[in-house]
Amino acid sequence: MAGNNIFVGGPNLTEYVQCPYDSAHRILPVRLAFHLNRCAKNFPCSKMVRCPFNTSHLYSVTNMQEHIIECPNRSNLERYKMPDMLPLVEPPRHEFIVDSAENWDDDPPVPTYNPKTYCEEKFIIRNPQGAPPAARREFRERERRRFTANNQF
């Protein structure tokens, strides 16, 4: 397990912001200033651009490049992306109480399930686990005869 354990990622879309020029562009906030610079050349007609963090923020291209650095909605997003910068909440401590009345050395009150006994009572193919090879061969031979006899009607 590598990485930050405190980090809890949201949906991937929240990591990207929409380009104010073209809604099809998805940019990481850190690359936004660079992207705006480049994208402005593709959209020379658009005088005003919308802030990708808050669509109600409308700025000229030059002002937008400054705005995205100090946009209050951007700082919300950044804080969301870096939750380890928030004050850490101490997890509640649980008292570990050992019940001394219980004796773990006692045998369980329920009889142990014995698969061998169960199989002996049912007409199912048994697999003699752990038996020596000779006994296993003998067992298989006996089982074959048992099934053959049942099929000779």
* DSSP annotation string for the chain: --S-SS-----GGGGSEE-SS-TT-EE-GGGHHHHHHHHHHH-TT--EEE-SS-TT-EEEHHHHHHHHHH-HHHHHHHHHH-GGGSPPPPPPP------TT--TTSPPSSPPP-HHHHHHHS-S----TT--HHHHHHHHHHHHHHHHHHH--
**Which span sits near Zn ion by CB under 5 A: 68-76, 98-106, 135-143, 144-152?**
68-76
Nearer to Zn ion, 19 or 61 (CB): 19
Of residues 26-55, which lie at the interface with Zn ion (CB under 5 A)? 39, 51, 53-54
Please pick, from the candidates 15, 16, 25, 139, the single residue that binds Zn ion as defined by CB under 5 A.
Answer: 25
Pattern 96-125, binding to Zn ion, x per CB under 5 A?
------------------------------
Nearer to Zn ion, 51 or 61 (CB): 51
Q: Count the site residues for Zn ion by CB under 5 A.
A: 10
Nearer to Zn ion, 63 or 127 (CB): 63
